[in-house]
Amino acid sequence: DEVKAILQKAGSNARVRGFASNVSNYNPYQDSNPPSYTNGSPSADESRYANSLGEALRQRGLPSQFIIDQGRVALPGARREWGEWCNVSPAGFGQPFTTNTNNPN
């Protein structure tokens, strides 16, 4: 609801085609074995996050497409806690960009 209110204040939401996520973080796109610090989170990886947030956006009539930054995810599991996000060593460069994601969001 907060996103919808912000977009309404900004003008027509037709100008918004989607959202970007993971732009300063190290969350893998898909993680079949997420780290223990994500226990209890329905959004332990970016694909799950896009699915859950995408559904909430669609229900409010908002665009639900995402660009998901994977530029720092060459070594998933490099950080010790979810809040560790600044220049995590040895994370390195992530996977090359692609549109082949197997995710409708």
Whether 93 and 74 have beta carbons less than 8 Å apart is answered as: yes
For residues 6-29, give the mean pLDDT: 80
Q: What's the structural domain count of the chain?
A: 1
- Phi and psi torsions of 57, nearest 5°: -65, -45
Residue 45, domain extent = 1-105
pLDDT at 84: 77
pLDDT over threshold 80, residue 65: yes
- pLDDT score at 91: 72
Q: pLDDT tier at 14 (50, 70, 90 boundaries)?
A: low
Confidence at residue 99, expressed as pLDDT on a 0 to 100 scale: 85
Distance in Å from the first CA to the final CA of the chain = 19
d(CA 20, CA 4): 16
Residue 55 has a pLDDT of: 92
Q: Is 68 left (phi over 0), alpha (psi -120 to 50) or beta?
A: beta
Residue 78 has a pLDDT of: 75
For all residues of the chain together, what is the average pLDDT?
A: 83
